[in-house]
Amino acid sequence: MVSAGDFRNGLTVEIDGTVYQIIEFQHVKPGKGAAFVRTKLKDVINSGVVERSFRPTEKFPTAHIERKDMQYLYSDGDLYNFMDPDSYEQIAINKDVVGDAMKFVKENDSCKINSYNGSVFAVEPPLFVELEVTETEPGFKGDTATGASKPATVETGASVAVPLFVNIGDKIKIDTRSGEYLSRV
């Protein structure tokens, strides 16, 4: 149990059956009345942000989020299959839970599986991936007064905006958080 007076950024707590991560907190001591703690909380499972105030003496149970490295094996319809590299145990995660996280991930890549009380709520892909360009229009020399870009399809089927000099067969580095092209490999 942690009291609201001991809140810190990044701490995960369970409030009213929902798991929140503290984004910001501020201890407020008004001239009149009792002190309170103003917080900005992020719902870990639904990723919504709420602002709430608490008395410093209120206590909440800490929520232990398990983040485990697992290897992505394959997709089978609406299920994505992952394997624990230590125990070789396999789990299947529904497409609704995974969302867009897998659009830059190839088979055998390592991902972080986030779970709370044994229930998986999110999949984090690696921050940067190297993928091969499978389809793009040829670039034209000349019209490059500014950083011009063109659409390209990578081996996972995702579409990325790339500079004009990138061709089919090139390996490129992509930031999975924003989906942006970083460099050629």
Write the pLDDT tens digit of every residue in 100-154. 888 888 888 899 998 888 888 888 889 999 999 999 888 666 655 567 788 999 9
> Looking at the structure, do residues 40 and 89 belong to the same domain, yes or no?
no
> Looking at the structure, do residues 143 and 179 belong to the same domain, yes or no?
yes
Q: What is the secondary structure of 65-93 as a DSSP string?
A: -EEEEEEEEEEETTEEEEE-TTT--EEEE
Q: Of 74, 95, 124, which one is at a domain's C-terminal end?
A: 124
Q: What is the pLDDT of residue 61?
A: 93
Give the residue ranges of the chain where pLDDT is below 50.
none
What total number of domains does the chain contain?
A: 3
Q: Do residues 163 and 151 touch, judged by C-beta distance below 8 A?
A: no
What is the model's pTM?
0.71
CATH number at residue 18: 2.30.30.30
Q: Do residues 152 and 159 touch, judged by C-beta distance below 8 A?
A: yes
Furthest-apart CA atoms within the chain: distance in Å? 69
> Looking at the structure, do residues 140 and 112 belong to the same domain, yes or no?
no
- Nearest alpha-carbon partner for 110 in 83, 131, 79: 83
Q: What is the pLDDT of residue 81?
A: 92
In degrees, rounded to 5, the angle at the alpha carbon of residue 11 between the alpha carbons of residues 26 and 24 is 30
Residue 63: is it exposed, middle or buried by C-beta count within 10 angstroms (0-12/13-18/19+)?
middle
Nearest-angstrom CA–CA distance, 38 and 20: 14
Q: What is the pLDDT of residue 177?
A: 85
> Looking at the structure, do residues 178 and 136 belong to the same domain, yes or no?
yes
Nearest-angstrom CA–CA distance, 11 and 39: 12
Q: What is the pLDDT of residue 167?
A: 87
Residue range of the domain that includes 74: 66-124
Nearest-angstrom CA–CA distance, 74 and 96: 16
Torsion sign, CA atoms 183, 161, 138, 148: negative
User: H helices within 136-179, ranges in order?
Assistant: none
Q: What is the pLDDT of residue 144?
A: 59
CATH number at residue 180: 2.40.50.140
Q: What is the pLDDT of residue 173?
A: 93
